[in-house]
Amino acid sequence: MRVAVTAKEASVDGPVDPRFGRARYLLVVDTETGETDVHDNEVNLNAAQGAGIQTAGNLAQLNVSAVITGHAGPNAFRALSASGIAVYTGAEGTVAEAVESFNNGKLVEAKSADVEGHWL
């Protein structure tokens, strides 16, 4: 299963970026093999508006089944749902730790946005 994690650094040993739309990097991890691709998200980090929607659009292109992040706002959540991507919020620690929590079933799938738009 291909899972995306929002990340502050281009490495699985770096911290999870709690922001979804304006995450610095998107790390796509294959949960079976551990193989990881790094995708730069700087364009959306600096977007005037609609960062969450664009980031969701990028994830749809990357063909992932789920995303692990800190928080997701209403527009991001709607775009992710429409793309058939499951959302797991509340992730902490490093990307590797977040993936491990996900694999162990410790992260709960979000049923709605957990923050207002522009919470940061």
Partner 1 sequence: MIVAIASGKGGTGKTTVAANLALVASMQGRAVSYLDCDVEEPNGHVFLKPEMYLTEPVSVPVPVVDDDKCTACGRCSEICRYSAIVLLAKTVLTFPNLCHGCGGCSMVCPSGAITESGREIGVVEEGARGQIRFVHGRLTIGEAMAPPLIRAVKKRVRPDDLTIIDSPPGTSCPVIQSVKGSDYVVLVTEPTPFGLNDLSLAVDMLRVLNLRFGVVVNRADIGDDAVFDYCAKQSIEVLAQIPHDRRVAETYSRGLLAAQELPEYAEVFRTILERCC
Candidates 6, 41, 69, 75; binder of partner 1 (CB under 8 A) is 75
Candidates 15, 78, 97, 101; binder of partner 1 (CB under 8 A) is 78
Cβ 52 to partner 1, closest distance in Å?
8
14 binds partner 1 (CB under 8 A): no
Binding to partner 1 by CB under 8 A, coded x per residue (else -) over 33-72, reads --------------xxxxx-xx-xx--x------------
| 46's tokens | 């600096």
3-state SS of 9-40 is CCCCCCEECCECCCCCEEEEEECCCCCEEEEE
113 binds partner 1 (CB under 8 A): no
Stretch that binds partner 1, among 27-35, 78-86, 91-99, 105-113 (CB under 8 A): 78-86
Judged by CB under 8 A, the number of residues near partner 1 is 16
Contacts within 8 Å (CB) and 24+ apart, 107-116: 107/68, 109/66, 110/72, 110/77, 112/77, 113/72, 113/73, 113/74, 113/76, 113/77, 114/71, 114/72, 114/89, 114/90, 115/71, 115/72, 115/73, 116/73, 116/74
Binding site for partner 1 (CB under 8 A): 47-51, 53-54, 56-57, 60, 75, 78-79, 82-84
